Each structure stands twice: as C-alpha cells, then as structure tokens.
Chains A and B, each alone.
Chain A
C-alpha cells in the first residue's frame, strides 16, 4: 500500500509539474514525463517492492523468526543466499538507502521549504544546508538499542500522516491559482487519487482502532 501511495500521489507533481517547469519543460515533454513516472516509480516502487516484500516474508515466515536487529535480519536471509552473500546483499541494501533515497529526500525537503517560504534556493547558504538536513533523523538509531524498532515507529507515524499528504496533493492538483493551466482537468485522475486517499485514510483509522483495542479479536 505504501508503495502505491508513493507512486500514485506525488509522482506527476514531483516529476513533471515542479521539476519539469523549473527546467523549462513544455507540452512536448509530457510523454517523456509519463515514461519516466512509469519506469522510474511504478516499476521500482510497486513491482520490485512487492517482490522484495514477498520474498522476505516467505523466508522469515518459514523460519518463524522475528528479527529485531541488523545482524539478526542478515542472518534471516542466510538460508536463501548463504552466509557470505546474505551479509553482502544486506549491507548493499543498507548502503543503497543513503546514496539514493536519503539524498533525494533531503533535496526535496530543502526545495519544498524554500518554495513554501518564498526563499531563493542557494546551495551555498547555511539555510539550504539546514533545510536539507532536517529530515535526517536516522542518526537517532545510534543511541537506540533496537534500531529496527525505530523503523517500525517511523512507519507507524507515516501510516498516521500519509493521508494528510494525500489530501494535500488532491487539493493542490485541483487548485487553479497554484497550477494554472496544469490544474487537473481529468475525470479519471481525481477518482484514482480519491480511492487512494480512502485507502490511506483506512490505514490510519485501522492503526488508531488497533491502539484503542477496537480491532477484531
């Protein structure tokens, strides 16, 4: 579900409307943007994510283990890949996060804050550096005895707040003052976003109901 959220909600805005316009893209580039969204986001987020989740769940479920630390997670992959390659693959995966997602997230954060406050983006200023570092809370894991639980806590927070992001994107896509001629005019895109918003609303509601002990026993 998270993968679908990540693909459907921000993709057209982030990839085309914001970045595209700032690079001087026009109508003739729209097909390129669609191809980019499909290959860069749909394949990687939806297809690959589901495959990885499926393989991981299958491996751990068969073992009946519930790993909570990085070495335990690496050990859980051993039956599938062997002792050496399970560790190599696991740490490549860990390295992939800082060299891809973390950088993108920092840049997106800095761009968004500068845009929101009407500041001129300048990568040489301290303001830009601070804005880029704001979402970097991963270092907290250094002081946390069970870092995997930090991921779960952040995941829970994300479940509660994802619907706010969805609402914002829906409102933004339909705001003529902000997007001008790029405002959504399709009768297909809105229901798609609204169904997705309903699903992420349900994730947040189920999470709260679970905490309240109202879920099916």
Chain B
C-alpha cells in the first residue's frame, strides 16, 4: 500500500497527488474543449480523465 504521508522533495505524496489531479483536470477540460469544438484532442481528454479518476481513487485512502 502507498504511504501517502511520505515526503518526496518539498511535499508529501498527498500534495503531489493533488497537483497531479489539477494537471489531469486541466488536460481533461482542454481536451473536452477541442473535442466539443471540432472533434480534435480526444486523446488529451482521455489522458486527463484517466489521470483525474486515478488520483481520486489513490488519494481516497485516509
């Protein structure tokens, strides 16, 4: 099991997870904008969504 309180660099894994989640959110929205506008950036949308869901599942551990 991952110890989310372990420090790596400046922050704990929990904080790095939140930063990664934020990047995933931004990618998902950026991908969604392209996909809705002209059908482009579908891979970006999928990467963003997978990153977001993975972060939520991993960070859910108390």
Contact = CB atoms under 8 A, between A and B. Distances in A.
Interface of A: 163, 167, 170-171, 174, 176, 183-187, 189-191, 194-195, 197-198, 201-202, 205-206, 209, 214-217
Contacts, number: 62
A201 B25 contact: yes
A194 B58 CA distance: 10
Contacts of A171: 14-15, 18
Interface of B: 4-5, 14-15, 18, 21-22, 25-26, 29-30, 33, 36-37, 52, 55-57, 59-62
Contacts of A197: 18, 21
A217 B59 CA distance: 35
A214 B31 CA distance: 11
A143 to B, nearest CB: 36
B25 A194 contact: no
B62 A187 contact: yes
A171 to B, nearest CB: 6
Q: Could you say which of B36, B55, B59 has the most chain A C-beta atoms within 10 Å of its C-beta?
A: B59
A190 B61 CA distance: 7
Contacts of B14: 170-171, 174
25 contacts: A163-B22, A170-B18, A171-B14, A171-B18, A174-B5, A174-B14, A174-B62, A184-B62, A185-B62, A187-B60, A187-B62, A190-B62, A191-B56, A194-B55, A194-B59, A197-B18, A198-B21, A198-B25, A198-B56, A201-B21, A205-B22, A205-B26, A209-B30, A216-B33, A216-B36
